[in-house]
Chains A and B, each alone.
Chain A
Amino acid sequence: MAYVATRGGDRAIEQSERLFRDAMGDITPARVAEVKQALPYLIDRVMGEASLYDEDLAALALAQTGGEMFEAVLLLRAWRTTQPRLSVAEPVEQQDLFTHRRISAAFKDIPGGQVLGPTLDYSHRILATDVLSGGTFRPDPVDPADNPAPAHQPSVSAWQAENDLVDLPEPDTTEGNDIPDLTREPLLFPSKRAHTLQSLARAETGGALALGYAAMRGYGSAHPTVNELRLAEAEVVVRHPRGTKFSAGRVKVSQAEVVSKKGEKLDLGFSATLGWNEVKVIAAATLDLNAEGAPKGSATEEEFFLYHTEGVESSGFCIHFKLPHYVTFQSSLDAMRDAKAKRKAAETEPAE
């Protein structure tokens, strides 16, 4: 039975998985807790791309995959997809966000004020190498402001709308289960607005950045000005079967509004995601800003950027090229050889 030797498929995949896991050792509650505490921005990125807000599960996914981001996101998405939908939360309004950081590049000062909040923007990017030789990097304590910034601020675009600088989108009154859900329906084009925003919310950060950056560099028609960027916490307000509304907790969210001049008015691009991820929401809002009227097949066309920033699909397809392709390859070889033989035969035949 000559084939028996090659029938190692089951054993091979078992052992290769063991090799991967062996390198990381035991996954313990302590490790998951450490990941969660030490890497909140990574947790946020994974939660955003997975469209599942649960810091513990995200930390577990990162621990289980050794920080392989695409694997961690897939793990969470595959878990998420089997979970029942218990309720649809109330819409979150900008002015109700518990805001930690809020900046506008459009105006020096804005109603509600600029709130710098937590950021590395003005840090000097110097490695704390002392830590590697036994030291501890202990951050300086934060001095509270004399006048704390208000927790809630109005939106900048609301002021612009009052001053006839921007036309705000028509309020969408769709409620609850009627809101199109990208995870339950296919994405079709022209895309439903809800699908576009959901798709951008779970876009892969690097993908959104690459295409958003292309738009910023001139492959899009609109140059973005960050009208308002927020890192905030949103209340998840759900309705009890008895009818009362209550907050089931808070989730971290980021949102970006970018604008560009369009005739006498400003054009708006928007993006929001779970977790704090400024690069992603600015890039995604830039894509949204550029989408209208974008040429088919360009980086700023909705179909193009929504498909190509989908991290689970793109990464999966990319790694699938590792799978054997010898049937398709054989089929192509056959056509190539036959074409070559035909050409040689034609060359040796005397011309008529």
Chain B
Amino acid sequence: MLTTPVPNPDETLANRAFDALLWALSRPGLPRDLPTAGETAIIAALIDRECRVFSADPALIPLLAETGAEIADLPQADHVFLGALGSLAPLSQLGLGSDLYPDDGATAVIRVNLGSGDRLRLTGPGVDGALDLQIGGLPGGFWQARRERIRYPMGFDLILIDGTRVVGIPRSTSVEVL
């Protein structure tokens, strides 16, 4: 009655990107490869007209607008594209959701340098014991500000990208600066 459908290029891109994101957030600190560099594949996998998005990088706005997503102010956005983060200010405005609906907490995508910069030790769900890694390109005091802001299960989840590399730091992860 029906022939088996084949994935179109959009489907393949989104599927692969999500595979990387799901892996990355399930195993905080372990890098994974996105199918393409930058935010494009993440947007393809996650963003559509049902989202409210904020972008600090004007270059992403046309792509985000094309998805039909509502371009919103930072505190109202469920998906936040911060580009390379220059200051800590946006961190204090990220949506945390509520105790009733922690899923309303924002997902923030930030460009970083993996493998250089602050030496961090991660513990928590998804981490086998403890995991050490280096993440650079974030403003000073970032990890402390994050810790002070998150009131688990309320909080925000970080998707950190460096070219095609992606690292996930969900709200459940404890980050210690070594």
Interface residues of chain A, those whose CB is within 8 Å of chain B, are 177, 184-185, 188
Contacts and interface: CB of A to CB of B under 8 A. Distances in A.
Interface in B93-121: 101
Nearest to A85: B49
B50 interface: yes
A278 to B, nearest CB: 35
4 contacts: A177-B49, A184-B50, A185-B50, A188-B101
A188 B49 CA distance: 20
Contacts of B49: 177
Contacts of B50: 184-185
Contacts, number: 4
Nearest to A181: B50
A184 B49 CA distance: 11
Interface in B47-69: 49-50
Nearest to A185: B50
A177 B69 CA distance: 11
A95 B50 CA distance: 33
Interface residues of B, number: 3
A330 to B, nearest CB: 31
Sort A-B residue pairs by CB-CB distance and give the 4 closest, nearest first: A184-B50, A177-B49, A185-B50, A188-B101
The A interface is mostly helix, strand or loop, or mixed, namely loop
B5 to A, nearest CB: 11
A184 B68 CA distance: 15
B52 to A, nearest CB: 12
Contacts of A177: 49
A188 B104 CA distance: 13
B100 to A, nearest CB: 9
A188 B103 CA distance: 13
Interface string B119-135: 00000000000000000
B8 to A, nearest CB: 15
Contacts of B101: 188
A184 B50 CA distance: 9
A199 B143 CA distance: 45
B97 to A, nearest CB: 13
Interface in B12-53: 49-50
A177 B50 CA distance: 9
Contacts of A185: 50
A35 to B, nearest CB: 20
B151 to A, nearest CB: 21
Nearest to A177: B49
B11 to A, nearest CB: 14
Nearest to B68: A177
B18 to A, nearest CB: 19
A185 B78 CA distance: 15
A185 B50 CA distance: 9
Contacts of A188: 101
A185 B101 CA distance: 14
Nearest to B101: A188
Contacts of A184: 50
A188 B101 CA distance: 10
A317 B101 CA distance: 26
A142 B53 CA distance: 60
A103 to B, nearest CB: 41
A188 B50 CA distance: 16
A19 B144 CA distance: 66
A177 B49 CA distance: 9
A185 B49 CA distance: 12
A290 B32 CA distance: 54
Nearest to B49: A177
A185 B51 CA distance: 12
A341 B61 CA distance: 68
A177 B101 CA distance: 23
Nearest to B50: A184
A184 B51 CA distance: 12
A177 to B, nearest CB: 6
B170 to A, nearest CB: 21
A177 B48 CA distance: 12
Nearest to A188: B101
B173 to A, nearest CB: 27
Nearest to B100: A188
A184 B101 CA distance: 17
B67 to A, nearest CB: 13
